[in-house]
Each structure stands twice: as C-alpha cells, then as structure tokens.
Amino acid sequence: MSENTSRIRTLIVEDQGMFRAFLTTWLNQQPRFCLVGAVESGEAALTLIASARPDVLLVDLQLPGMDGLECVRAARQVRPHLRALVLSSRVDPLALTRVRESGVEGYIEKDATPAELAEALEAVAAGKRHYSTRFRETLDREGAKSLALGKILSRREQQVLSHVLTGKTSREISELIGLSSRTVEFHRANIMGKLGVSNLAELAASARQHGLG
C-alpha cells in the first residue's frame, strides 16, 4: 500500500468476503485513493485506526458485533476528522433515519454502479455530503414518521427493531449486534411496551403506521 500522503487514505469495513474483495480490487484502481486496510468488522477496524490513519471509512451499515454507525462513532474518538461513507442494502426509513442522525457524510446502496460509488467516495473525501437518490426519496416520503419513532425508542431499540422487522430471532439479532439473547429480549419487551403492543403482529402493524412496513 502506498504511503503517498497526497492520496486519500481509505479503510474498508465490510463483513461479506466477496464484496470486500471487490471493493479492495476496485479501490486499488482509483488513483486518488490509497487503501490502508480491508477488514470484516468494526472491532477489527478499531484496532487499525491509530496505525493506519485513514481519512475515510467505507463501511457497511450491517456488521457483526457493532454496526457501521457504532464503528464510525468509536473511530472518531481516535480520529475526530474521519469521514465516512456508509454502504448498505437497507432502505427502510428507520435504518436511513439512523444514518441521517449519525452525522456520517454519505450513504449509498450496495447495488450502486462503480461510477456512482466513485462519485460518492470522491464527494465524501472532499468534505461534502453525498446521499443516494433512493435515500433522499425514502426519507422525503416516510422519514417524518420514522423520525417520530426515533423520539420514542433509543438508538439500540431502533437497531433491534430494524432486525425484528426482517424476521430475525433474538439469537440471530444477538449475534449480529453483539448482545446476549437475554438483553435482546429485554429490548424487544421495552419496544413493545413503548409502542403499546402485545405481540409481533401488533408490532408489525405499528411499524407500518410509522412507515416501516
């Protein structure tokens, strides 16, 4: 990896091996960028931040253990001016509202073209904001409902809810976000209590009322 300081030092955080390999190959072909690492988790990224000194994180939203937004928050405690472009296949308003409120500089879907990814990464590296068209359209359409829900639930509860709505079990959620199954069940109970529902069917209906179904 080049140590040329005129190039933008970039760290990839992506748990899917094939997609991480694609990003690694692609980024190494971009003349303005210097790849300083490609890791599979937020925890692995944090062990590299001080020594790799990235300028930009290219980070998946959904990661095992801490998710992408938690990774960015923790990384910025070490490098406060670190910029972040979030990658995800998620376009539900709850997930996107969390992204918007997190302060990351950009968001783009994983099915974007390489040209779109290059445009987004260039913008974020230049200190600009870049959010995909689908991101903006989704939040324009349903974001107000999701934002209202965000005032009811904590960030962790929003994270758990977003996984519940995809049909994941408490054990699956615990493995994804690095909590015990008992803690996930505790959050699920709190979510249902705050939303005034008593079962998953009512929870799904409440979520639809908030634009999440």
Q: What is the mean pLDDT of the chain?
A: 86
The pLDDT of residue 208 is: 67
How does pLDDT run across 123-157, given as a tens digit for each residue? 999 999 999 988 888 777 765 555 566 677 887 88
**How far does CA 130 lie from the centroid of its chain?**
14
Q: How many CB atoms lie within 10 A of CB 74?
A: 15
CATH, range 153-209: 1.10.10.10
At the second CATH level, the architecture of 8-136 is: 3-Layer(aba) Sandwich (3.40)
Closest-CA residue to 53 (of 71, 72, 79, 76): 79
* 66: nearest Cα among 156, 193, 165, 200: 156
Q: Can you tell me whether residue 173 is helix, strand or coil? A: helix
Q: How many Å apart are CA 48 and CA 98, to the nearest integer? A: 25
The pTM (predicted TM-score) of the whole model is 0.70
Tell me the sheet residues that pair with 107.
86, 131
Residue ranges per domain, the chain? Answer: 8-136, 153-209
Whether the domain at 8-136 and the domain at 153-209 fall into the same CATH topology: no
Q: Which residue has the higher pLDDT, 213 or 97?
A: 97
